[in-house]
Amino acid sequence: MVGRFATASNATLLVRLRADDGSWPVLPLDPDGDLVLGELDPDGFAVYKPRRGEAPLWDFPSGTLYLREVAAHAVDRLLGWDLVPTTVVREEAPHGVGAFQRFVPHDPGEHYFALLERGDEGLLEQLRRMVLFDAVIDNADRKGGHVLLEGDRVRLVDHGVSFSEQAKLRTVGWHFAGEPVPDGARAEVAALADMLVRGDAAVAVLEPLLSDGERRRLLERARAVAGWDRYPEPVGERPYPWPLL
């Protein structure tokens, strides 16, 4: 284990992955001896969220947040959007069962708000899909700092408080409100809904990760988002996360 991300409310650990030859990846350090996140080898490091490090929540079942991290990656793959880094369950780990996610080398200053201001159309297209993705999984905590930039790709992290049966959407991504939803993105969400209705073999991966009720609500949300003509205005009593970053 390299260290812990101190700002995370649940145990979020940076770990090194040993290569097949038994070697360990090198830790890039600056002249002051601090770790340089942007220079870490993505194949040599992972973010580990152990179940035993989850803080109890009144509105999510205990010991399920790591499963929701994996479910978010699974839904992203079903959509074909490549926004969420590879995330898997590992039973054997230093602090017990938990989620392992491919580490994304990044500059912490390149967050959602910075990418929005840049105005690059390729990035904006990915951010628009982020809005749809968060609505589909009902992400209750999309902070600006949970949006990373890897090369020219937007990467989304921290999905432990998603997939609730009760509406909890809280996100910074309301800047596209009123814009038309791209037909292609709507079609991809509709395809996800169709797979869920059919019980397609590809969606079986969600069965050990989410309850029956949570999967039913996922289908309902996917159907609703597929029918959006325009991005919505902020909804609910608490539409924004706090802090925003």
Question: Which pLDDT score, from 0 to 100, does residue 40 have?
Answer: 81
Residues 6+ apart with CB under 8 A from 218: 75, 136, 137, 163, 196, 206, 210
In the structure encoding, which two tokens stand for residue 196, read together?
Answer: 């869920």
Cα–chain center distance at 163: 12
Q: Write the single-letter amino acid at 204.
A: A
* pLDDT tens-place string over residues 200-213: 999 999 999 999 99
> Is it true that the peptide bond before 243 is cis, omega within 30 degrees of 0?
yes
- State pTM to two decimals: 0.93
Handedness of CA 176, 179, 184, 188 (dihedral sign): positive
Angle CA 72–228–82, to nearest 5: 30
Tell me: pLDDT of 237 over 90.
no
> Radius of gyration over alpha carbons of the chain, in Å?
18
Q: pLDDT tens across 135-154, in order?
A: 999 999 999 999 999 999 99
Confidence of residue 6 (pLDDT cuts 50, 70, 90): low
Cα torsion for 179, 187, 191, 65, to the nearest 10°?
-20
E strands, 168-235, are none
Task: Give the pLDDT band (50/70/90) at residue 10.
Answer: confident
Distance CA 38, CA 142 (A): 22
Q: Where are the domains of the chain?
A: 3-226
Decide: helix, strand or coil at residue 29.
Answer: strand
Q: In angstroms, rounded to a whole number, what is the distance separating the alpha carbons of residues 111 and 134?
A: 16
**DSSP labels, 106-142:** --TT--HHHHHHH--HHHHHHHHHHHHHHHHHT-S-B
**Contact indicator for 40, 48 with CB cutoff of 8 Å:** no
Q: What percent of the chain has pLDDT over 70?
A: 98
**Helix ranges, 41-182 (H):** 65-79, 112-118, 121-137
